[in-house]
Structure 1
Amino acid sequence: MIQIREACEYDAKRFAKMQLQIDSETDYMLYGAGEREITSKDARKRIEYFADLPYSLILVAEDTETEVLMGFLIADGNPPNRMQHSVYIAVGVLKEYWGRGVATRLFTHMETWAKARGVVHRLELGVLCENTKALRLYQNLGYEIEGTHRDSFMIGADYYDTYWMSKLI
């Protein structure tokens, strides 16, 4: 069974491991395989930091039978008063769990959280134009393309465009 919940200190080791695995399974994440180091201590600090922010959130998707963290969603809010209504989203799911609705459930949970805040009005994210599966998911969830960031991503020696997308709630 899949459980969506806020990340806690207990998740730090598994969260770090999951992020590194996701980095190695796809070229569509910000970091490539082996490009970053994230320790349990780093993950714990990030989880604790986000827990103290009123407009930010880290969610995890956990397989309750195996206790495997299979995905995450980070909603990063902005402290300036003029930006508190806006949240930037980063999401990742282990390849083994693609196509099982994990990302959809993470987004649904995050939107419930955002609406409950009473201030969050704008959800935004970036996606590589070539990532058609994620693009289709985001569009099905109501996100719209606002523009294209040309050559904003570089994988190896090749440049890629990203779409900037948002959803108003």
Structure 2
Amino acid sequence: MWSVKTEAEMTVTSEQQHQWLQQMVNEPGKLAILAEHDGEMIGFLDFHNGNKQRIRHQGFFGMSVKKDFRHQGIGTALLAALLDWATENPLIEKVCLEVVADNTNALRLYQKFGFVEEGVKKKAVKIDEKTYWDLIVMARFVD
């Protein structure tokens, strides 16, 4: 839906991607979901729970859908798969996210799935010297 990474931050090697995905597979509180069309990656969702005992029950996810494939139900399918997994995962009780405050399409999607606003992080993302984005923190309990 959105990304706060710059192009330089998104450059990773195949080996780095492989190591990251292997870590996701080996950790019971982590998940990566890939959406493909004709062999092309068109959407991605990753979820990470907390590393410490007191916060292992919750985690954050990030999701993106390639621009040409938005408004076709891909984000809905990715989010539904995450929530199905989280509901069945004995570690996970709470799914959290941060979304750009003016991303109304994403906000509607998250609200449709029962996420509620927990707070706002003012000027959380710096776009340039004069432009900032606020982030809305949302969450949903799955237990």
Gaps of 5+ in 2: none
Q: Which residue of 1 aligns with 2:77?
A: 105
Deviation string 1:25-79 (CA, Å, 9 cap, x unpaired) is x8x312023443212111111100111101001111122xx11111111010123
Q: Which residue of 1 aligns with 2:25?
A: 51
Secondary structure in 2 matching 1:46: helix
Q: Which residue of 2 aligns with 1:163?
A: 136
Aligned pairs for 1:62-141 (under 5 A) are 62-63=36-37, 66-141=38-113
Corresponding letter in the other structure for 1:49 = Q
Secondary structure in 2 matching 1:45: helix
Q: Return the alpha-carbon distance in structure 2 between the equivalents of residues 90 and 133 of structure 1.
A: 15
Q: Return the alpha-carbon distance in structure 2 between the equivalents of residues 156 and 132 of structure 1.
A: 22
Corresponding letter in the other structure for 2:141 = L
Corresponding letter in the other structure for 1:48 = Q
Q: TM-score, structure 2 length as denominator?
A: 0.92
Q: 2:121 aligns with which of 149, 158, 163?
A: 149
Q: Return the alpha-carbon distance in structure 2 between the equivalents of residues 35 and 57 of structure 1.
A: 21
Q: Return the alpha-carbon distance in structure 2 between the equivalents of residues 45 and 151 of structure 1.
A: 33
Corresponding letter in the other structure for 1:162 = L
Q: Percent identity?
A: 26
Q: Tell me the number of residue pairs that the alignment of Structure 1 and Structure 2 aligns.
A: 141
4+ runs deviating over 2 angstroms: 32-36
Corresponding letter in the other structure for 1:139 = Q
Q: Return the alpha-carbon distance in structure 2 between the equivalents of residues 82 and 130 of structure 1.
A: 32
